[in-house]
Amino acid sequence: MRTVLFRLIGMLEVAGGLYGFAATLYRLLPSRHAYDALPALLALAAYAFVLVAGVLLLEGAERGVRFSRWAQLLQLPLLATPVFSYGLHCGAFVNLFATLHWPPHLLLDAHFGSEGFRLALAGPAASRIGVNLLALASWLALKLR
């Protein structure tokens, strides 16, 4: 069972990391401003790290388990406030998040075969905070071995 879970996590990391790297590189190439390039370069680094972690995990390396735990922790938080926004997912996500305005709403969102990176010093007027449940489950599976 452990091997199947590790392979599934590794495949999602490789697919999401590769897809995210290619999509970010495509968006970065026509960019002429450093303001646009800095978040894209951070996204490239994050996707490259997740890709390497997935490859090492699929190879069965102990370093792959350690890197994959960090990769899942990077995908865990979801934060969208008017001051700061952050979110990352590679391959798939199952997000549970709450809006922080009255009345608060608890929402569940999921998607497979996707990538996403949000990092900004601004965000929506209606703040949201949440957690990627798939990343949490993957981190726990990697942690409990």
Percent over 90 (pLDDT), the chain: 44
Work out the pLDDT band at 74, boundaries 50, 70, 90. Answer: very high
Mean pLDDT of 24-32: 79
**pLDDT score, position 60:** 87
- Cβ atoms of residues 122 and 113 within 8 Å: no
Cα distances (Å, whole numbers) of residue 44 to 26, 59, 108, 141: 11, 23, 27, 26
pLDDT band per the 50, 70, 90 thresholds, residue 32: low
Assign 41 a pLDDT band (cuts: 50, 70, 90). Answer: confident
Count H helices, E strands: the chain?
4, 4
Contact 132, 95 (CB under 8 A): yes
Query: What is the distance between the alpha carbons of residues 10 and 138, in angstroms, rounded to a whole number?
Result: 10
User: pLDDT digit string (tens) for 78-112?
Assistant: 998 888 889 898 888 899 999 888 887 888 888 88
Mean pLDDT to the nearest integer, 50-57: 94
Instruction: For residue 30, give Cα distances in angstroms to 26, 33, 48.
Output: 8, 9, 20
Q: How far is CA 125 from CA 54, 86, 137, in A?
A: 36, 15, 30
The model carries a pTM of 0.87
pLDDT score at 65 = 93
